Structures are given as structure tokens and as C-alpha cells.
Amino acid sequence: MTVKVLNQGLLTSIQDLGRYGSQKYGVIVSGAMDKYSLRVANLLVGNNENEGALEVTLLGTSLQFEKDMLIAITGGDLLASIDGEKAPTWRPILVRKGSVLQFKSPLKGCRAYVAFAGGIAVPEVMGSKSTYLRAGIGGFKGRALQKDDVITCGEMNEFSTLLFNQLNKRNGSFTWTVNYDVLINLQQTQTIRVIRGTEFDRFDEKSKRTLFNEPYTLTTQADRMGYRMEGPPLSLAKEFELLSEGVTHGTIQVPPNGNPIILMADRQTTGGYPKIAQIISADLPSMAQLQPTAKIHFKEISYREAEIELLKKEQIINEIKTGIRFKGLYI
């Protein structure tokens, strides 16, 4: 089964949950910016939740299906349409041979995910199908998709085949959908929860108060590597030399100009700027869905609270997984 790229859009790449275990060699993790949406998209078509899927950024991407296929679209609302009609999202859908899926413009959120039953048939590099754009490895020939690329999909498993056959009988999509707003927030003004960074106490008292009391704006300098923010500048209490050390998804660094930088999926493996805070894992997918000009309020929580929030989200994913299995087997 194949899909042809009619228009590559702003940026569309193949991503899974990331390339772990190679940072010691300088190879970044990469992976989906919004991991919750990717996981659910895969579950909706019967795939393993770590299977590769398409990450579509903002607008312009269009795909033509060369066979009847079972897919799911999750993430931000980028006004997806199939043959000009609004496409169902957050549910399994059957797309007919010759149909065109198009993402027109971002209504809410920044990134959408398209999963295909059977996954995407590209080789794993260092255990992952994710595209590492700067190094040119993984995904589709190590790059973003381009016009006239042809994506090959794998064979459907037993459960995917069952879903496909049920949809074929109904000539469309199931009426049930996943309630996504318990997983991600697609609003342009958000409260993002953080824990203190390793250099938090190196900042002056005014900066510590400012971080949690003043809004910051996401600038246009925002990509898969990191988000630059604008707002009241943050300052160290005293200048000091900091050796480069490991950083992770959601680390908030403060360069000399005082405007925070939030590291995202394609972050570097080490960083040398002071780290004032760390976005909690449960809020990273919502952070990934923000568009430039978004307003962010940072809220400090404890390590324990951060763990509880992550466990809540994992429980929701497990409930979605169980629900899909039940509905797929008995509807």
C-alpha cells in the first residue's frame, strides 16, 4: 500500500517516539513533538504506539492514497479534509483509493499526526524511524517529505484488518472519537507546569518571581529544536562559568540576553546555558502544539506532583487503548 505526496507543506516528516540510547555518541533523540497524539493515532489503527507516523506542521501538506487504507488523524486541528470534505479526527477512518487528504491551515494547534494501519515501511536507524533532519538520517531518506515522494506502508495486523473490514461495511468512519482534551491543550494561552532547574538558585530573586508571575510569548524563532521566548529578561545573581552538561526535552535555558529558550524534540545533547526550569513531561505535548505569538504562564510544581500528572496521562492512554480494543471488537 502506498501514499503519494502531492504537496509537502511547510514541514512533514516521519517520526516515532524517538531514538534513545545514542546521546552519548552525540545523536539526538528526535521523535514526535507531541508524543501523546502520535501514540493515540497509532493505537486507533491497531499499530504499536511507537510506530512511525507523519508529523504535519501547520499547513499545506496533501497526500493521495493509491489503495483503500485505514488511517487516523490526531493532534492539532489543521483543517484536514478528504476530497474537499472535513476529515474526521481522533478516530479510525477508511480512506478510499484515489482520495486526497489535505491540511489547509491551523485552526487550533500546530502539528497533526497521520498514522497508517501497518505502519510506514522505512528502515530503522539506531532503533528508530524518526527523522533526524540536521544529520540526514532516519525517516524517508533522512529528510522531510517532498512533492512526488511515495510512502510505502506495511502489512496490517489482525486487529487492524478487523477495523478495516468493519469500516468497509459502514462505508466511512466510526462515530466514536477519543476525547483528546484530557491529554493535550490546543489553546494559544496556556499555563505550563515546571519544576526548578539545576541552576534555579543561581538567578536573582526578581527573576525567580518573574518566571512564575509574568507571561512569556512564543516568538517566530520556534522549530523542532527549540522555542525562543520573549518577556521580562531573567538575570543571574552573579555571573559564573558553567560546563556544558546533558539537557532534555523541556529544559528551559537562559542565554545572556535573558530571554528563555525551551528545548524541544530535536534538542542538542548538551547545553552550556543556565537551566532555570524544566517543563514537566505531562505538559510537553501541549507545549509542542503552541503557535508563534502564544502566551505562556509558567507554574511551579513539585517533583511529586509532576510524577502524579505523568501517571494520570499514562492512565488515560491505557484507558484509550482498552476502549479502542473493546469498540473495535464489539461494534
* pLDDT for position 175: 74
What pLDDT is stored for residue 298 in this prediction? 98
pLDDT class for 25, splitting at 50, 70, 90?
Answer: confident
Element (H, E) at 103: strand 100-103
The gap from C-alpha 321 to its chain's centroid, in whole angstroms, comes to: 18
Mean pLDDT check: name the lowest of 73-82, 183-192, 318-327.
Answer: 318-327
pLDDT at residue 330 in the model: 54
- Joined together, the cell numbers standing for residue 141 give 531518506
Checking DSSP bridges between strand 295-300 and strand 189-196, what pairing results, if any? parallel
- Report the pLDDT value the prediction gives residue 8, as an integer from 0 to 100: 95
Model pLDDT, residue 326:
78
Mean pLDDT on 41-47:
96
**Average pLDDT along the chain:** 94
**What is the structure's pLDDT at 325?**
82
Per-residue confidence (pLDDT) for residue 272, from 0 to 100: 86
Percent of the chain with pLDDT over 70: 98
**What pTM was estimated for this model as a whole?**
0.95
Task: Report yes or no: 48 and 157 within 8 Å, Cβ to Cβ.
Answer: no
User: How many helices (DSSP H) and strands (DSSP E) are in the chain?
Assistant: 5, 20
- Cβ atoms of 68 and 94 within 8 Å: the answer is yes
Give residue 271's pLDDT.
Answer: 86
Q: What cell does 59 get?
A: 499547513
Asked if the model's pLDDT at residue 315 lies above 80, the reply is yes
Q: Helix, strand or coil for residue 78?
A: coil
- Report residue 91 CA to chain centroid gap: 17
45 has a pLDDT exceeding 80:
yes
> Does residue 201 surpass a pLDDT of 70?
yes
In three-state secondary structure terms, 204 is coil
Q: What is the pLDDT of residues 126-176, one digit of tens each?
A: 999 999 999 999 999 999 999 999 999 999 999 999 999 988 887 766 778
Residue with cell 472519537: 177
**% of the chain at pLDDT higher than 90:** 85
Confidence of residue 15 (pLDDT cuts 50, 70, 90): very high
pLDDT at residue 233, rounded to an integer: 97
The domain defined by 189-300 carries CATH number 2.60.40.10:
no
- Tens of pLDDT, residues 78-114: 999 999 999 999 999 999 999 999 999 999 999 999 9
Domain edges within the chain: 2-180, 189-300
Q: How confident is the model at residue 327 (pLDDT cuts 50, 70, 90)?
A: confident
Going by C-alpha positions, the residue among 37, 12, 78 that lies closest to residue 317 is 37
Cβ atoms of 216 and 192 closer than 8 Å: no
